[in-house]
């Protein structure tokens, strides 16, 4: 597995993160096999959130990986806080309590990365800063970031938070590529020219914030996967054509498409299928040509001016 820096931190991470949102759908044996497969393929960065399974996903993961001190030092753990039932909460009290719960469920003393999970409309950046300082000073969290935030929301946090924000989780896939499309339609009177996120892609590149694409196989908002989906015949034909050229699966090509972008993104896999996880990991070694990258982009229905 290739590695790269995470943002401006001193962390060197695999180019893929293993998402654990659905690990609670596996029985104990299958969960153990899934985690071991990730480790065997160099996918040692695991993404969690306290909201996933109401915390059960973190508990299942800790058991599946047989967490102990030696295991902990061989992996990287990221989790997220801030989503509550019917609301968001970035208060100091909630952040601190949530992290303690995460650490307990994961059977660890620290997180490598903590992300704020989506924006909180009632955020008070001063409270976030106090929470981050306490977490860093206590050694409970080593690095910090956000998810689904635009440039001005990040700038507001940065006014008060002294720790670098090293990652931003954003929805991005071949079929959900508005952050890429708007950059190609500058000064055009087309729907794709609408700037919906404050140019977050360019902002993250300018500030060395690693984008972590989530739902890399989804279209819409959890409407389903585009691979082998009859709704996307042209896209799947193009992906399959390129997959044959590289002697890999269509899953591998879909991840390779994200890795080809020069922003050095770190896609988050969401599959619980062992073979698809292996296919995702193989994308680390596939480099798409510019022609193939644009061919996939256009086959998905994206346009160029």
User: What span, in angstroms and rounded, lies between the C-alpha atoms of 105 and 187?
Assistant: 50
User: Looking up tokens 């989804």, which residue turns up?
Assistant: 218
How large a percentage of the chain has pLDDT more than 90? Answer: 98
Give how far the C-alpha of residue 194 lies from the chain's centroid of Cα atoms, to the nearest Å. 24
Say yes or no to pLDDT of 231 above 90: yes
For 265-297, write each residue's pLDDT tens digit: 999 999 999 999 999 999 999 999 999 999 999
State residue 12 phi and psi, 5-degree precision.
-110, 120
Question: For domain 3-233+255-284, which CATH number applies: 3.30.460.80, 3.20.20.100, 3.40.1160.10, 3.40.50.720?
Answer: 3.20.20.100
Give the pairing of strands 210-214 and 3-5.
unpaired
Q: Are 146 and 116 in contact (CB under 8 A)?
A: yes
Helix (H, G, I), strand (E, B) or coil at 143: coil
Q: Per-residue pLDDT for 194 more than 90?
A: yes
Query: Where are the chain's structural domains?
Result: 3-233+255-284
Measure the CA–CA gap between 259 and 180, rounded to whole angstroms: 14
Are the beta carbons of 9 and 45 closer than 8 angstroms? no
- What's the pLDDT at 203? 98
Non-local (6+) Cβ contacts of 239 within 8 A are 227, 250, 253, 254, 296, 299
Radius of gyration of the chain (CA): 19
Q: What would the mean pLDDT of 214-230 be, rounded to a whole number?
A: 94
Q: d(Cα 287, Cα 257) in Å, to the nearest integer?
A: 8
- For the chain, percent of residues with pLDDT exceeding 70: 100
Across the chain, mean pLDDT equals: 97
pLDDT given at position 223: 87
Given pLDDT bands bounded at 50, 70 and 90, which one contains residue 87?
Answer: very high
Q: What is the pLDDT of residue 211?
A: 98
Report pLDDT for 221. Answer: 84
pTM of the full predicted structure?
0.97
Average pLDDT over every residue of 123-136 = 98
For 72, the enclosing helix (H) or strand (E) is helix 69-73
The residues with which 84 forms a beta bridge, in sequence order, are: 87
Neighbours of 28 (CB within 10 A): 10
Q: How confident is the model at residue 246 (pLDDT cuts 50, 70, 90)?
A: very high
**222 pLDDT tier (thresholds 50, 70, 90):** confident
Per-residue pLDDT at 64 exceeds 90: yes
pLDDT in tens, 132-152: 999 999 999 999 999 999 999
Q: How is residue 128 written in tokens? A: 């976030």
Active site residue 52: yes
Res 261: pLDDT: 98
CB of 80 closer than 8 Å to CB of 49: yes
- Which residue among 52, 203, 294, 297 is the active-site one? 52
Helix axes 290-299 and 250-259, enclosed angle (nearest 10): 110
């Amino acid at each position: 597995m290739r590695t790269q820096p995470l943002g401006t931190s001193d962390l060197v991470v695999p180019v893929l993160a293993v998402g654990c949102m659905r690990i609670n759908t596996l029985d104990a044996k299958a969960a153990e096999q899934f985690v071991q497969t990730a480790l065997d393929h160099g996918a040692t960065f695991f993404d969690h959130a306290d909201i996933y399974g109401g915390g059960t996903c973190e508990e299942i993961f800790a058991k599946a990986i047989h967490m102990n001190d030696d295991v902990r030092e061989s992996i990287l753990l990221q989790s997220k806080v801030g989503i509550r039932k019917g609301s968001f909460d970035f208060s100091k009290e909630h952040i601190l309590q949530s992290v303690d719960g995460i650490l307990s469920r994961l059977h660890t003393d620290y997180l490598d990365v903590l992300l704020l999970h989506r924006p909180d409309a009632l955020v008070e950046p001063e409270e976030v800063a106090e929470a981050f300082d306490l977490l860093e000073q206590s050694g409970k969290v080593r690095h910090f970031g956000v998810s689904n935030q635009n440039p001005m929301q990040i700038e507001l946090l940065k006014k008060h938070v002294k720790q670098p924000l090293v990652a931003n989780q954003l929805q991005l896939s071949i079929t959900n590529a508005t952050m890429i499309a708007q950059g190609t339609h500058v000064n055009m009177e087309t729907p794709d020219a609408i700037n919906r996120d404050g140019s977050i892609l360019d902002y993250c590149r300018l500030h060395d914030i690693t984008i972590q694409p989530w739902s890399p196989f989804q279209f819409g908002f959890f409407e389903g996967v585009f691979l082998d989906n009859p709704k996307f015949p042209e896209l799947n034909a193009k992906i399959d054509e390129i997959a044959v050229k590289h002697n890999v699966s269509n899953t591998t090509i879909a991840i390779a498409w994200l890795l080809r972008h020069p922003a050095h993104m770190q896609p988050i896999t969401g599959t619980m299928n062992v073979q698809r996880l292996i296919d995702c990991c193989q994308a680390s070694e596939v480099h798409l040509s510019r022609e193939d990258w644009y061919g996939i982009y256009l086959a998905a229905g994206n346009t160029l001016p």
